[in-house]
């Protein structure tokens, strides 16, 4: 009874290859077991040793061999084959894992699609064709099952792209004791009866253009916002920290036109100030004389008398210039129109 309690995994690949595995590290720790098998009746059995082992950390954990009949007996023994550790008889046909469907075709008619494949030569009634599909907007597969080897489904939206995949399933318990299904056939993509490489191919160039334009508009908008913020920052900076005027500009002609000669620059400015005063005072004197003529028609004074103030101003300016040309005493203040100049012992001019 102990020999039948070992769990094994048995797979008959399309009734062509047998694969039997066991948990060697749990069942036979630190022991490299051997495997034997035979097909047919027990009384005529001829044990064959396994030639293709499956390994788990260098220990034998399974065997792969050809399927030679419907009945099978297996034996797991110690490393030299002298002691049997496990024995089991089974029906190889109850462990069939079918191959993927072959020559799968899709037939579209409006919103209905019919999927079919080649019919297997043996035991087709034991197989079911399973169809799964989903659109690019679906997260889960939708599944339909039908007899081998055709299935139809309706309700497909011609504006959507769909993914399809199919496989064969073995009936349980009539044909198999284990629910084995084939591997999925290669996934295909369809839209309104047209085969596509992928569902990403239905993205129109217009959508790409819209994406590019949206990106460009976003960049332009961000640039405009940055320019507005920069202008506001400059205004704020000017209001908080106003610009300090450079003092060299009011005296630019002193260094550019007179090479720093202060006396020459003062003489020129003195003449300009005097001329400006004369130009400013003459119209006032003339206006005053005219008003006096209008008010006192019987009193006429000479025009030369009107300019008495102007002449006095001119004489005063001349006297100031003469005083400036004299050698002043130490710490003497030399007055000029619009300026006060301090003269030290060495006759240096200090502004």
Sign, CA torsion 82/87/91/92: negative
CATH classification of 105-196, choosing from 3.40.50.300, 2.60.40.10, 1.10.3300.10, 3.90.340.10?
Answer: 2.60.40.10
Give the mean model confidence (pLDDT) for residues 196-211: 68
Give the pair of three-digit tokens for residue 94: 């109850």
The answer on pLDDT for 287 being more than 90 is no
pLDDT value for 27: 84
Total residue length of the chain: 351
Mean pLDDT of the chain: 77
Q: Helix 262-295 crosses helix 308-325 at what angle (to 10 degrees)?
A: 170
Q: Rounded to two decimals, what is the model's pTM?
A: 0.54
Band (324; pLDDT cuts 50, 70, 90): very low
Pairwise pLDDT comparison (257 vs 56), residue with the higher score: 56
Rounded Cα–Cα distance for residues 188 and 163 (Å): 6
Query: For residue 18, what are the CA distances in angstroms to 38, 48, 95, 127, 324?
Result: 12, 14, 9, 19, 128
Q: What CATH number has the domain spanning 8-97?
A: 2.60.40.10
pLDDT digits (tens, 9 = 90+) for 62-102: 999 999 989 999 999 988 888 988 899 999 999 999 999 99
Band (308; pLDDT cuts 50, 70, 90): very low
Residue 32 and residue 79 in contact, taking contact as beta carbons nearer than 8 Å:
yes
Instruction: Examine domains 8-97 and 105-196 and report if their fold is the same.
Output: yes
Band (50; pLDDT cuts 50, 70, 90): very high
Tokens 């039948």 correspond to 4
pLDDT value for 214: 86
Task: Name residues whose C-beta falls within 8 Å of residue 127's C-beta, 6 or more positions apart in sequence.
Answer: 98, 120, 148, 149, 168, 169, 170, 171
pLDDT digits (tens, 9 = 90+) for 206-235: 556 778 888 888 899 999 898 888 888 777
pLDDT digits (tens, 9 = 90+) for 164-187: 999 999 999 889 999 999 999 999
DSSP 271: H
Every domain of the chain and the residues it spans: 8-97, 105-196
Task: Name residues whose C-beta falls within 8 Å of residue 196's C-beta, 6 or more positions apart in sequence.
Answer: 161, 189, 190, 202
């Amino acid at each position: 009874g102990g020999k039948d309690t070992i769990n094994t995994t048995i797979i008959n690949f399309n009734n062509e290859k047998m694969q039997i595995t066991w948990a060697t590290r749990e069942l036979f720790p630190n022991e490299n077991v051997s495997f034997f098998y035979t097909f047919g009746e027990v009384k005529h059995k001829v044990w064959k040793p396994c030639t293709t082992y499956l390994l788990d950390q260098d220990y034998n954990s399974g065997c792969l061999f050809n399927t030679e009949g419907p009945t099978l007996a297996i034996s797991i023994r110690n490393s030299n084959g002298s002691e049997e550790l496990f024995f089991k008889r089974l029906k190889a046909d109850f462990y069939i894992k079918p191959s993927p469907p072959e020559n799968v075709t899709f037939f579209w008619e409006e919103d209905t699609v019919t999927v079919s494949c080649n019919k297997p030569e043996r035991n087709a009634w034991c197989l079911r064709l399973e169809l799964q599909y989903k659109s690019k907007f679906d997260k889960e597969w939708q599944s339909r099952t039908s007899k081998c080897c055709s299935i139809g489904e309706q309700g497909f939206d011609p504006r959507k792209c769909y993914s399809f995949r199919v496989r064969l399933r073995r009936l349980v318990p009539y044909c198999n004791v284990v629910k084995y299904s084939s591997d999925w056939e290669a996934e295909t993509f369809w839209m309104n009866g047209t085969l596509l490489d992928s569902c990403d191919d239905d993205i129109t160039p217009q959508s790409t253009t819209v994406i590019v334009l949206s990106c460009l508009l976003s960049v332009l908008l961000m640039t405009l916002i940055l320019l507005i913020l920069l202008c506001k920052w400059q205004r704020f900076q000017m209001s908080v920290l106003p610009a300090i005027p450079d003092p060299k500009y009011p005296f630019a002609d002193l260094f550019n036109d007179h090479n720093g000669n202060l006396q020459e620059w003062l003489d020129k400015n003195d003449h300009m100030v005097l001329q400006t005063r004369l130009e400013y005072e003459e119209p006032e004197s003339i206006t005053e004389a005219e008003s006096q003529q209008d008010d006192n028609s019987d009193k006429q004074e000479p025009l030369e008398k009107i300019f008495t103030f102007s002449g006095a101003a001119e004489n005063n300016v001349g006297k100031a210039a003469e005083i400036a040309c004299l050698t002043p005493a130490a710490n003497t203040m030399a007055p000029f129109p619009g300026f006060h100049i301090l003269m030290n012992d060495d006759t240096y001019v200090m502004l």
